[in-house]
Amino acid sequence: MMTNSKSDSVTVADVARAAEVSKSTAARVLGNRGSASPAARNKVLAAAERLGYYPNALARAMSEGRAHTIGAVIPDISSPFFSSVVRGLTDRIREAGLEVLIINTDNDAEIEAHSLEMLATKRVDGLVLAPVIPHGSGMARLLAQRGLPIVLFDRRSEGLQDLPLVALNHEHAAQLATQHLIDLGHRRIAVATQVPSWVGRLLDPAQPAERPSAQRLRGYLSALHQADIPIDMRLIINTPYDHMGAADAVMHGLAGLDATALIATDSVVTHGAFLALQRLGIGMPDELSFVGFDDQDWTTLVSPQITVLTQPLRGLGVAAADLLSRRIAQPDEPQADVLLHGELLIRQSTRRV
């Protein structure tokens, strides 16, 4: 048994010729559409088998005008957050018969622009975009205007107000975390996060809080507000977005604060804050109650185990896939945002004050 060693692949026409039917008959049975007599069907299938035919998705995409592919444009696939989300996304989108092209932007607006352009060039059927914030390239808006279905993920950047979003309900999540501490009797609750410059207007609902950290901070503030706990700006510790920097910021920020609890609003700052508490030798939960974000491996390996607010990672990816699928199927049907709820995992780092 030998195959032709020439790399030129077998086409529908080849199969048709071998099966002694017309090209369109062969195309119909191979494409599994239209109609064909059992006789023809068998001949074609046999010929295809014999010649080792397998379809050329490129040609199909070309003539259909659809690539059966979507793009996922995200900051960094190697982060635990995005890698799990993407897993959910790809699994779900494959069920719909599409593939996913993943691009990392490293939160660089220029890379984002190039990536989006490249994907447009590839004629993807749609895009999931975790945009660079506060403002990404204008590219996404341009593509959306052209009619390309786009779903925003995790956050919305300026100028993309009209695109549907799939994200954690950041504000609600932070409220949950804060409320937990309030329920435990805490009133001096510090928060470590990336504080936006317009923090003063954060409780003003007119101000759109685009970045997740800002929305989470708002959740913190509104929980305090509802509990009639006065807001002390010194309790809001501004940190950079790397765990070493965050650790330093928390070490300094916490000094002389008489806080009885601390919330870190994302995984990186949670890591940094934990380091800071370790270095300061502050005992949890006795001296301080601590709530982190994201259910990272280490939060159950250290002692005490850390109470965290966890996100439905794969669920977020699945939701993004579903929303995008809907947009692709019904481009004109407006789609509402999908905000998933976080869940508080109460462990050992928090206790009644």
Q: Which residues bind its own copies (CB under 8 A)?
A: 3, 7, 54-59, 61-62, 67, 69, 76-80, 83-84, 86-87, 90-91, 99-104, 117-118, 120-123, 145-147, 271, 274-275, 278, 296-298, 301-302, 313-314
Residue whose C-alpha is closest to residue 311's, from 320, 303, 302, 301: 320
Q: How far apart are CA 298 and CA 306, in angstroms?
A: 9
Site residues (CB under 7 A) for DNA, limited to 260-279: none
Nearer to DNA among residue 60 and residue 252 (C-beta) = 60
Rounded to a whole number of angstroms, the minimum distance from the CB of residue 118 to DNA is: 14
Residue 22 in contact with DNA, rule: CB under 7 A: yes
**What is the crossing angle of helices 12-19 and 38-51, to 10°?**
120
Cβ atoms of 202 and 214 within 8 Å: the answer is: yes
What residue 36 binds from its own copies, DNA, none (CB within 5 to 8 A, per partner kind)?
Answer: DNA
Residue 226 in contact with DNA, rule: CB under 7 A: no
Nearer to its own copies among residue 156 and residue 327 (C-beta) = 327
**What is the crossing angle of helices 12-19 and 23-31, to 10°?**
110
User: What are the angstrom distances between the C-alpha of 351 and each of 91, 196, 251?
Assistant: 39, 30, 21
Written in H, E and C, the secondary structure of 226-283 is: HCCCCCCHHHEEECCCCHHHHHHHHHHHHCCCCCCEEEECCHHHHHHHHHHHHHHCCC
What residue 27 binds from DNA, its own copies, none (CB within 5 to 8 A, per partner kind)?
Answer: DNA
Cβ atoms of 16 and 22 within 8 Å: the answer is: yes
Nearer to DNA among residue 147 and residue 230 (C-beta) = 147
Rounded to a whole number of angstroms, the minimum distance from the CB of residue 193 to DNA is: 46
Residue 320 in contact with DNA, rule: CB under 7 A: no
Q: How far apart are CA 353 and CA 351, in angstroms?
A: 6
User: Tokens 């481009």 belong to which residue?
Assistant: 331
What residue 102 binds from DNA, its own copies, none (CB within 5 to 8 A, per partner kind)?
Answer: its own copies
Nearer to DNA among residue 24 and residue 278 (C-beta) = 24
Interface region with DNA, contact rule CB under 7 A, candidates 19-27, 101-109, 172-180, 313-321: 19-27
Nearer to DNA among residue 57 and residue 244 (C-beta) = 57
Q: How far apart are CA 43 and CA 60, in angstroms?
A: 23
Residue 119 in contact with DNA, rule: CB under 7 A: no
Q: What one-letter code names the amino acid at 271?
A: H
Rounded to a whole number of angstroms, the minimum distance from the CB of residue 203 to DNA is: 51
What mask, x for binding DNA by CB under 7 A, covers residues 32 to 71?
-xxxxx-xxx-----------x-xx--xx-xxxx------
Residue 97 in contact with DNA, rule: CB under 7 A: no
Give Cβ neighbours of residue 191 (< 8 Å, ≥ 6 apart): 178, 217, 220, 235, 236, 237, 262, 263, 264, 265
Q: Six-digit token pair at 46?
A: 């046999």
Size of the site for DNA (CB under 7 A): 31
User: Tokens 């503030």 belong to which residue?
Assistant: 221
Nearer to its own copies among residue 67 and residue 182 (C-beta) = 67
What residue 79 binds from its own copies, DNA, none (CB within 5 to 8 A, per partner kind)?
Answer: its own copies
Give Cβ neighbours of residue 24 (< 8 Å, ≥ 6 apart): none
Q: Six-digit token pair at 25?
A: 């008959």
Rounded to a whole number of angstroms, the minimum distance from the CB of residue 3 to DNA is: 15
- E strands present in the chain: 69-74, 99-104, 126-129, 150-153, 165-168, 189-193, 236-238, 261-264, 289-293, 307-310, 338-340, 343-345
Residue 4 in contact with DNA, rule: CB under 7 A: no
What residue 39 binds from DNA, its own copies, none (CB within 5 to 8 A, per partner kind)?
Answer: DNA
Residues that bind DNA (CB under 7 A): 8-9, 11-13, 21-25, 27-28, 30-31, 33-37, 39-41, 53, 55-56, 59-60, 62-65
